[in-house]
Every structure is written in C-alpha cells, then in structure tokens.
Structure 1
Amino acid sequence: MSTENNLSLDKTDLSILRLMQENSRISNVQMAKELDMAPSAILERVKKLEQKNVILQYTTRINPARLNLKLLAFISMKASDSIGCSTTALELAKIPEVQEVHHIAGEDCYLVKVRTTDSASLMALMRDHFSKIPNILSIRSTIVLETVKEQQQLVIPEK
C-alpha cells in the first residue's frame, strides 16, 4: 500500500500548510511565533511535508493582465485516444499557453485552460498547435468575459 494513502497530517501540519498557503514567503520564525513552536521544529516539519510530496512547489502568482495575457479561455476537446491513454494530454501540456489540462468524463475528453493576449493569438494557438495534435477530433472554446474568483488554494481541514 502506498504511503501517500496512509499519510496522516496532524493539527500542526495542517496549521503550517494553512499559513504557507496564505503566504509562501512566511519565515520559519514567523510560523514558529504563530504556532508557539521553535523555528527548528517548523523547519523540520516543512522539510518532511516536502519529502512526503504534500508541499509540491513554491510559486509566485502574477497578474496576467500585466503581461498582456488578457484573454482566458476554456477549451473542450474531443479526441480519438482510447480511455486511459494520455498521449493527447501530454502533447497539450507541452504548449506554453496551456495552463491546465484535465481529462474529463462526458462527451468531451479534455478540458484545457489557456491564456493568450487576444482572440487572434487564441486562433493562432488553435491553428499552429492544437490542429497539429493528430488525435484531436473537435474543439469548442469558451472565452471568459470576467473572472469573479480564481485561486489555487485548497480548503485545508481543521482536524
């Protein structure tokens, strides 16, 4: 049995994750103050969370509009891949403008999130990249007019 399935996180681990998710730049000293622990104990716990693949990476959230990436679209795709085959998904994931690739249930096979500068660049993305992936049978685009909420944060249980 995999250790990931048996991974148990205690209340302190969950508190560390909550603090780090709010601000990944929080120092061990600050977390130690918040949790009434020694900074060395916090460091040890964070390293264990990294080793157990609970913490996968540290990222910076950048305002896409500041990089002129103003067009957000979700693209539903039907592909001829057999169930469980990820060839198309892996090809989609290689495209820089593709932010997310989800294998989905239902009529379509994939839901892909992309960001581009404008509708012309979205069209070029479809023509120059998506159309060259042999298994894609159909594409339906949904362009986002306004984003009310977008986040990567998970709901961390209190325990």
Structure 2
Amino acid sequence: MFTVARSPQINGRQMVDVNLDETDFELLRRLDREGDIDVEATSEELDVSPSTVYYRLENYREMGILNGTVADLDARKLGLELTAITEIESSYGPEYEEIADELTDLSGVQNVYFMLGEMSFYVISKVKDHDHLQQLVDNIISIDGVENSVTNVVLRSFKDEPRLLVNYDDEDLTELFGSAARGPPTPRRRRPDTPRGGRRCGPARGGGACRGSA
C-alpha cells in the first residue's frame, strides 16, 4: 500500500517518508525504464485494475516522486557537440543563491550544483562549439561574486544516464526499498462482481484527479 507520512521540515523543506509496496515498486521501475507506460497493459501484467494504476500515478505526482514527462532529445544530433563542466569558486554567504540563480539562467546551462569543498559550484552545459563555449565562460565570470572558474570539455562519455532506478542492481534496490524490491507483486483476487476496470479515470498524462481503489 502506498502510504505517506509527513516529517519535520529541514532547511525550510517539508520532508516526506514514503512507504512503497511491490506494486508501487514495479510501477516506478517501469516508469523509470520506459518514461511512460501503457496503463491497460500494465494493469494486466501486474493483475491490478487500471484505476489502481491511475490512482497511484496521481499519488506519485502529488508527492513529487514523479515529475512530468520529458522527451529524451539527442544533443549531438541537434548540433550541441560539446559538453562542458565548469568548476566555480565564489564568495560565500547569503548571496550564493543569487549566484546560483544567475548561473541557472545562462543559455546552455543544464545543471547547477552548489558544492561542499574547494569549489562552490559545478555547472554542466551543452554548447555548439568552442566559440559558444567561450561566450558561456565569459558570461559565467562576469557574474558578481564569481571569483574564479575552470572549465573542462568532455572528450568522451562512458555513461550519461538520467534515469534513476536503472543505475542500481537488484541487491542494492532490495536494500534501499526493502521487500518491495524483491519481486513482482502477488496477484490479488477480485470478487466476481467487481468489474476489472474499476472506476474510470482520465489519462495518466492529463494531470486531472484520478479516483479508484489503491
């Protein structure tokens, strides 16, 4: 059963404890692997009603586990040939968030990380060519509070995997998620008078409220 408990706030953010059962785990693995799922086919394979699948997808969205559906675009085929990793040393203090905001707004920047260590920020960018990279570096060092930067260009990528669960083997997943990761859910019996589809729900991408049995 998908359950959620509110924990105390940390750094102003509400922390959430989420307990997943085997059905939740299988749904999340499929979403992580495929990016989208066929609700009808998935409900057949997991032996649950389509309304159950819709209901849980909506719960994942409401709790922030599942955030949108984004197409996987090939940067190189779009002409963005270079991946740059920039290490930035900056002044510390409350203004670091302002620096982060300016870095985030730069064209071509994909990821901005605030770090513990010698460097303050790591920035990952996709750019067209060296001229485009030089323009980006110039924009970075012109930000008020940036004291120094070092930019490296990726020569070859051996792994660039934005998905989450596919990066863990089954042993680690079992340790992380407990019994939910041990295998497919046990089929649940339905009463003869219970229709398979349950109550009708809108499509998973629609964002509207779904209602059904969990």
What TM-score, normalized to structure 2? 0.69
Deviation track 1:58-116 (CA, whole Å, cap 9, x = no partner) reads 11111111110010011000011327841111111111311000111111000000000
Distance (Å, rounded) in 2 between the aligned partners of 1:43 and 1:23: 17
What is the identity, as a one-letter code, of the residue corresponding to 1:79?
Answer: S
Q: Is the 8 A contact 2:141 2:147 kept in 1?
A: no
1:49 aligns with 2:60: yes
**1:134 corresponds to which of 126, 144, 147:** 144
**1:31 corresponds to which of 34, 42, 60:** 42
Identity of aligned residues (%): 22
Deviation track 1:93-150 (CA, whole Å, cap 9, x = no partner) reads 11131100011111100000000011111001112x2133101101101110011110
Structure 1 residue runs of 5 or longer lacking an equivalent are: none
Moved more, 79-88 or 132-141: 79-88
What is the identity, as a one-letter code, of the residue corresponding to 2:145?
Answer: N
Distance (Å, rounded) in 2 between the aligned partners of 1:7 and 1:96: 36
Alignment partner of 2:116: what SS?
A: coil
Alignment partner of 1:69: what SS?
A: coil
Structure 1 or 2, whichever has the larger Rg, is 2
Distance (Å, rounded) in 2 between the aligned partners of 1:35 and 1:80: 53
Report the counterpart of residue 114 of structure 2 in structure 1: 103
Report the counterpart of residue 7 of structure 1 in structure 2: 18
**2:86 corresponds to which of 69, 75, 84:** 75
1:145 aligns with 2:169: no
What is the identity, as a one-letter code, of the residue corresponding to 2:159?
Answer: K
| Higher-RCO chain (CA-CA 8 Å, sequence separation at least 6) | 2
What is the identity, as a one-letter code, of the residue corresponding to 1:141?
Answer: T
Deviation track 1:12-33 (CA, whole Å, cap 9, x = no partner) reads 1111110011112321112212
Q: Is the 8 A contact 2:141 2:149 kept in 1?
A: no
**1:121 corresponds to which of 127, 132, 142:** 132
Alignment partner of 1:146: what SS?
A: coil
**1:61 corresponds to which of 68, 72, 84:** 72
Distance (Å, rounded) in 2 between the aligned partners of 1:136 and 1:30: 52
Flag the 1:63–1:16 CA change in 2: closer, same or farther, 3 A: same
Alignment partner of 1:150: what SS?
A: coil
CA RMSD of aligned residues (A): 1.8
Alignment partner of 2:92: what SS?
A: coil
Aligned positions, number: 158
What TM-score, normalized to structure 1? 0.91
Q: Is the 8 A contact 1:75 1:139 kept in 2?
A: yes
Distance (Å, rounded) in 1 between the aligned partners of 2:17 and 2:37: 28
Distance (Å, rounded) in 2 between the aligned partners of 1:134 and 1:55: 35
